[in-house]
Amino acid sequence: MKRVYFLLAFSTLGMSTYGQKTIDQKVAELLAKMTLEEKVGQMVQYSGFEYATGPQQSNSAAVLEEIKKGKVGSMLNVAGSEETRAFQKLAMQSRLKIPLLFGQDVIHGYRTTFPVNLGQAASWDLGMIEKSERIAATEAAAYGIHWTFAPMVDIARDPRWGRVMEGSGEDTYLGTKIGLARIKGFQGRGLGSLDAVMACAKHFAAYGAAVGGRDYNSVDMSLRQLNETYLPPFKAAAEAGVATFMNSFNDINGIPATANQYIQRDLLKGKWNYKGFVVSDWGSIGEMIPHGYARDANEAAEKAIQGGSDMDMESRVYMAQLPKLVKEGKVDAKLVDDATGRILTRKFEMGLFDDPYRFSNEKRQKEQTDNRENRKFGREFGSKSIVLLKNQGNILPLSKTVKTVALIGPFAKETVANHGFWSIAFKDDNQRIVSQFDGIKNQLDKNSTLMYAKGCNVDDQDKSQFSEAVETAKKADVVIMTLGEGHAMSGEAKSRSNIGFTGVQEDLLKEIAKTGKPIILMVNAGRPLIFNWASDNIPAIMYTWWLGTEAGNSIADVLFGTVNPGGKLPMSFPRTEGQIPVYYNHFNTGRPAKNNTDRNYVSAYIDLDNDPKYPFGYGLSYTDFKYSDMILSSVNLTGNQTLNISVTVSNTGKYDGEEVVQLYIRDLFGKVVRPVKELKGFQKIFIKKGESKKVDFKLTPEELKFFDEDLNFDWESGEFDIMIGTHSQNVQTKRINWVK
Ligand code: GLC
């Protein structure tokens, strides 16, 4: 018995039972055999040739030759069991037969796509978010993919930035929790499982704070702000064992992230003791030349490797420059060994040295092509991501027997648009994605009539289709308008200076409103949009983001009340672009506005109300929730006590439903100023109509900690407001005193 136990213990210590060598030993042995060029080869990643996710400079023949020579460590944008097998065969022709890693942007689903990530965040459902990544990983791994460039954990407070659609919004606590759920979903039972992929925390770091919301623009902030708001999701990802990091295009306080020793060496590989590897973003090493931080490719390579970038995605600088830099003694060979070692470690963990083709499996791929269970989950996840912004006169939910419905707008019959921006295109997409029109038609009673008019295009000044749309609306009992921004108008390099409905969509809406028909507006977007006229004049508004493969069904489920919407906004919605940035966890200033319209010598705009159009955490339901009996275990605490908080939530309406109960705190006085609110907990609960639930939270001093001006992370004695509510502007407050 003892011997068996010993072997089991041995194997659980990460020792391989094969050859009794640890991965570290195998890596060391392999490194000892490798030439300098072969080591640098592992630090090189090229994109496949079918499509590029960056400014491609590929010369496919040369790349194939490089692979055969063992001078390529990874390919991205190569997927499919057949395609990956073909590339892997080339790598097996190299001297040491080191397998390739295949990476892909599996951002919100793979074959089955899910809501864009900001929409997913609106579900506040960590379990569904994790499950969606579990499904995405299973499907992607079945297509031969080893590594996804996700989760994107960039906190973002500026909706002009198109990549807010890929993240979890403005709040660090919510963004951290969601990032961890995604990593757990992607990596599942652990690297090496055939249904797990390596995750990648990106974009390291503070990419979401680009000045003006302009993609790739500079980031400049105090290290205190950087550590308090933007780095926590990355630190949590590193601690959770995320397999890789990807750095960001932007400079941070004057130094491009790609060469930024503070974040990549001092923090990530130093203080956080991170053992995975960092891949550059597409071309970002070479882009240090236009940044003005490197005179040429040689200097860019030197600064990038010194700065902690292990793999060069598509800038082609490392292969060209690093061997020379090491031979000239300008770069320590140990840095190359360290980077290569980190990359090889992941390849061993993925089991690729045991079998380079283990993920390239036709049978598994077939099983994961349009898996019905995955689509069913996608439909549910889509419904849970919808945010009900307005429902005046309870016009929603609609009855399925409503006589005549008119669906009007440029997105009504769209299919691929529902995929959102970061989805992998498949040839059969048009057939397999449920349009909004089809989703509604699927559920309307057979004696009802669904009419359609496009009304206008997404983004031009053509009003020639208005009259047809108005005539269609006049014949209907209820009109559903589907408007917003094009699905490819948010995403990478999609910053917008005007974030209203594009083209003449709002003019169309106003024309339809003149008919006097009841209107339900669905807003399709990957970011917060500005639509004040609609908000003030249309009785029912749902934010439907882009919901993925089952979009039409998800939307219909909410429209007809099969699902009672429970989504909550993960970002504040500004009234105008001039109000940006507007976010809930701001500082109070010395002259805070007393209310939404106070402009008398206070921090406000003289021409605009102070609050956002829709606040962080906001979302309605078809039912009503009442909060009562907020109870604290104490109002005077000392030291490491735990504060127990409870509240009773009652469903006083006509429908069963889900509510996201939010817990905020405010540290009233600090050695640095503190936000007026900080999210420190949330619970998504289901309550049947007429029933109540007691919801409990716990707070400890850990949740009170913050970074001071010397970057000490600690808490202070003092008064705190404890707030619980249905959104950031609708809370009950109790004050406590906590002495250290
Ligand atoms: C892109 C994106 C990054 C993506 C990478 C590979 O430029 O910035 O998020 O993972 O290139 O497609």
Q: How far is the CA of 447 from the centre of ligand 1 (A)?
A: 48
How far, in Å, from the CA of 482 to the mean position of ligand 1? 30
What separation in Å is there between the alpha carbon of 53 and the centre of ligand 1? 6
Q: Which residue has the higher pLDDT, 420 or 342?
A: 342
**What whole-number percentage of the chain has pLDDT above 90?**
94
| Section 299-313 average pLDDT | 98
- Whole-number Å distance between alpha carbons of 374 and 131: 10
In this structure, are 475 and 356 located in the same domain? Answer: no
Q: Read off the pLDDT of residues 99-126 as tens digits, 9 standing for 90 and up.
A: 999 999 999 999 999 999 999 999 999 9
Residue with CA at minimum distance from ligand 1 atom 8? 281
Mean pLDDT value of segment 530-537: 98
Ligand 1 mutation target, pool 102, 149, 154, most atoms within 8 A of CB: 149
Q: Tell me what the mean pLDDT of segment 355-360 comes to.
A: 97
Give the CA count within 13 Å in the CB-facing half-sphere of 546. Answer: 31
CA distance 80 to 65: 21
Is residue 380 in contact with ligand 1, taking CB distance under 6 Å? no
pLDDT of residue 58: 63
Distance 586 CA to ligand 1 centre (A): 30
Three-class secondary structure assignment of 644-661: EEEEEEEECCCCCEEEEE
Would you say the CB of residue 319 lies under 6 angstroms from ligand 1? no
Selection from 132, 150, 148 nearest residue 79 by Cα? 148
Distance (angstroms) between ligand 1 centre and the Cα of 249 equals 10
Same domain, 475 and 355: no
Beta bridge partner(s), residue 109: 113
Q: Are residues 269 and 414 in the same domain?
A: no
| CATH number for the domain harbouring residue 485 | 3.40.50.1700
Q: What is d(CA 131, CA 699) in angstroms, rounded to the nearest whole number?
A: 27
Residue 3 has pLDDT above 60, yes or no: no
- 3-state DSSP call for residue 293? coil
- Ligand 1 lined by 281 (C-beta under 6 Å): yes
Confirm or reject: Cβ of 371 under 6 Å from ligand 1: no
Q: Which amino acid is at 434?
A: V
Same domain, 348 and 315: yes
| Residue 7: pLDDT over 60 | no
pLDDT tens per residue, range 507-518? 999 999 999 999
**Residue 723 near residue 682, CB atoms below 8 Å:** no
19 — pLDDT class (breaks 50, 70, 90): low
> How far is CA 84 from each of CA 104, 124, 139, 142, 196, rounded to the nearest angstrom?
12, 36, 15, 11, 16
Candidates 46, 47, 51, 53: which one to mutate for ligand 1, based on the most atoms within 8 Å of Cβ? 53
Q: How many angstroms separate the alpha carbon of residue 281 from the centre of ligand 1?
A: 6
Token pair 């890693």 is found at 101
Domain assignment present for residue 370? The answer is: no
Contacts of 341 (CB under 8 A, 6+ apart): 27, 28, 31
246-280 residues labelled b (16+ CB within 10 A) or e (exposed): bbbbbbbeebbbbbbebbbeebbbeebebebbbbb
Average pLDDT, the chain: 96
Q: Are residues 634 and 542 in the same domain?
A: no
Query: Does 618 contact ligand 1 (Cβ within 6 A)?
Result: no
Q: For residue 624, give the amino acid letter.
A: D
Looking at the predicted structure, is the pLDDT value of residue 587 above 50? Answer: yes
Residues of the chain with pLDDT > 70: what percent?
Answer: 97
Asked, for residue 573, whether it belongs to a domain, the answer is: no
**CATH number, residue 86:** 3.20.20.300
Atom of ligand 1 nearest to the CA of 203: 9
Does pLDDT of 15 surpass 50? no
What is the model's pLDDT at position 18? Answer: 47
Nearest to 423 by CA among 361, 474, 373, 492: 492
pLDDT band at 54 (very low <50, low <70, confident <90, very high): confident
Say whether both 163 and 109 belong to one domain: yes
Write out the residue range of the structural domain in which residue 640 sits: 625-739
Q: pLDDT per residue over 603-627, tens digit each?
A: 999 999 999 999 999 999 999 999 9
- Structural domain includes residue 602: no
Quote the distance between the C-alpha of residue 528 and its chain's center.
Answer: 14
By most ligand atoms within 8 Å of CB, the mutation choice from 116, 148, 246, 423 for ligand 1 is 246
Q: Is 218 in the pocket of ligand 1 (CB under 6 A)?
A: no
| Nearest CA among 176, 168, 178 for reference residue 208 | 168
Name 188's bridge partners: none
Q: Mean pLDDT, to the nearest integer, of 394-414?
A: 97
Question: For helices 232-239 and 172-187, what crossing angle results, to 10°?
Answer: 30
Atom of ligand 1 nearest to the CA of 202: 9
Expressed in percent and rounded to 5, the helix, strand and coil fractions of the chain are 35, 20, 45
The sign of the CA dihedral 345, 282, 153, 434 is: negative
Q: Is residue 346 part of a domain?
A: yes
- Does 256 share its domain with 392? no
Phi-psi group of 276: left, alpha or beta (phi > 0 → left; psi -120 to 50 → alpha; rest → beta) = beta
The number of distinct structural domains making up the chain is 3
Q: What DSSP line would sit under 300-362, residue for residue?
A: HHHHHHHTT--BEES---HHHHHHHHHHTTSS-HHHHHHHHHHHHHHHHHTTTTT-TTTT--H
**Cβ of 200 below 6 Å from ligand 1:** no
- pLDDT tens digits along 177-224: 999 999 999 999 999 999 999 999 999 999 999 999 999 999 999 999
Distance 48 CA to ligand 1 centre (A): 13
Instruction: Give the Å distance between the CA of 358 and the centre of ligand 1.
Output: 26
Name, in order, each residue with C-beta under 8 angstroms of 283's C-beta and a sequence gap of 6 or more.
Answer: 54, 55, 313, 314, 315
Element (H, E) at 246: strand 244-247
CA distance linking residue 182 with residue 154, whole number of Å: 13
Q: Mark whether 354 and 419 lie in a shared domain.
A: no
Q: Which range among 136-140, 388-392, 423-427 shows the weakest confidence by mean pLDDT?
A: 423-427
Nearest CA to ligand 1 atom 12: 53
User: Considering the entire predicted model, what is its pTM?
Assistant: 0.96
The arithmetic mean of pLDDT across residues 76-87, rounded, is 96
Q: Torsions phi, psi of 565, nearest 5?
A: -60, 140
Give one DSSP letter per residue of 578-599, joined into a string.
Answer: GG-S--SS-B--SS--SSTT--
Q: What is the pLDDT of residues 711-740, one digit of tens each?
A: 999 999 999 999 999 999 999 999 999 999
Phi, psi (5° rounding) for residue 10? -55, -45
In a domain, 379, yes or no: no
Residues forming the active site: 281
Give the least confident one: 12-16, 38-42, 49-53, 533-537.
12-16
Which atom of ligand 1 is the closest one to the Cα of 150?
10
Query: What Rg, from alpha-carbon coordinates, does the chain have?
Result: 27
Q: How many CB atoms lie within 10 A of CB 656?
A: 16
646 occurs within a structural domain? yes
How many Å apart are CA 563 and CA 396, to the nearest integer? 12
CATH number at residue 705: 2.60.40.10
Pairing of strands 713-714, 706-707: antiparallel
CB atoms within 10 A of CB 600: 10
Find out whether 587 and 673 touch, Cβ atoms under 8 Å.
yes
Does 105 sit in the ligand 1 pocket, CB within 6 Å? Answer: yes
Looking at the fold, whether 662 and 735 belong to one and the same domain comes out as yes
pLDDT mean over 59-71: 92
Q: Is the CB of 282 under 6 A from ligand 1?
A: yes
Ligand 1 pocket check for 76: Cβ under 6 Å: yes
Helix orientation angle between 297-306 and 318-327, rounded to the nearest 10 degrees: 80
**Minimal-distance CA residue to ligand 1 atom 11:** 282
Whose tokens are 């499919």? That residue is: 80
On whether the CB atoms of residues 197 and 140 are closer than 8 A, the answer is yes
Q: Same structural domain for residues 351 and 409? A: no
Which residue, among 604, 608, 568, has the nearest Cα to 589 in the 3D structure?
Answer: 604
Please, which pLDDT band fits residue 5 given cuts at 50, 70 and 90? very low
Report the alpha-carbon distance of residue 326 to residue 331 in Å, rounded. 5
Q: Which tokens in the block code for residue 183?
A: 């990593």
Question: What is the chain's length?
Answer: 740
Same domain (yes/no): 356, 470: no
* 42 and 159 inside one domain: yes
Dist. CA 570 → ligand 1 center (Å): 23
543, 387 Cβ separation under 8 angstroms: yes
Q: Is 638 helix (H, G, I), strand (E, B) or coil?
A: strand
Q: Which residues contact 32 (CB under 8 A, 6 or more apart)?
A: none
Residue 580 lies in a domain: no
Choose one of 565, 588, 614: the last residue of a domain: 565
Per-residue pLDDT at 12: 41
The reply to whether ligand 1 has any atom less than 6 angstroms from the CB of 149 is yes
Give the confidence band of 59 by pLDDT, cuts at 50, 70, 90.
confident
In a domain, 13, yes or no: no
